[in-house]
Amino acid sequence: MSGLGIWNYVIFIFLMMAGLYMMISSSNLIKKIIGLNVFQTSVFFMYISFGYVEGGAGPVLTEGVTLYTNPLPHVLILTAIVVGVATTAVGLALTIRIKESFGSIEEDDLHKMDPSI
């Protein structure tokens, strides 16, 4: 599993970078928000992997089970997922306002309209 474990992390990093790239290079605001979600989700994977214990049961106490996965990352990520959704909602609301007042949600267009943006 050790080899596979490293590959897990490598793929998470790949996902993170795909998300980050989408966030900073996409011109479309909604694509940016999708990228944000991809980026954050891959960070969540990383956290959950940190707490994973091979052969461990999910952290609900059951009789006869002694090996559990670590509950703490789960708690943290529950909170972080909520934060991600909240950010997404506010970002989408901003996108709607931008569309209504500029008529476009393309960063390139916005730049052309007003170079100071």
Considering only residues 25 through 64, tell me which ones interact with other proteins, judged by CB under 8 A: 25, 27-41, 43-62
For position 112 contacting other proteins by CB under 8 A, the verdict is no
Site for other proteins in 63-102 (CB under 8 A): 67-102
The single residue listed with the structure tokens 């569309």 is: 99
Least Å distance between CB 90 and other proteins?
Answer: 5
Least Å distance between CB 114 and other proteins?
Answer: 6
Distances (CA, A) of 110 to 89, 98, 103: 21, 9, 9
Least Å distance between CB 70 and other proteins?
Answer: 4
Total number of residues that touch other proteins (CB under 8 A): 103
For position 115 contacting other proteins by CB under 8 A, the verdict is no
- Cα 54 from chain centroid? 24
For position 4 contacting other proteins by CB under 8 A, the verdict is yes
Least Å distance between CB 7 and other proteins?
Answer: 8
User: Three-state SS for 116?
Assistant: coil
Asked if residues 30 and 14 have their Cβ atoms less than 8 Å apart, the reply is: no
For position 17 contacting other proteins by CB under 8 A, the verdict is yes
Instruction: Report the DSSP beta bridge partners of residue 57.
Output: 68
Query: How many of the other CB atoms lie within 10 Å of CB of 90?
Result: 11
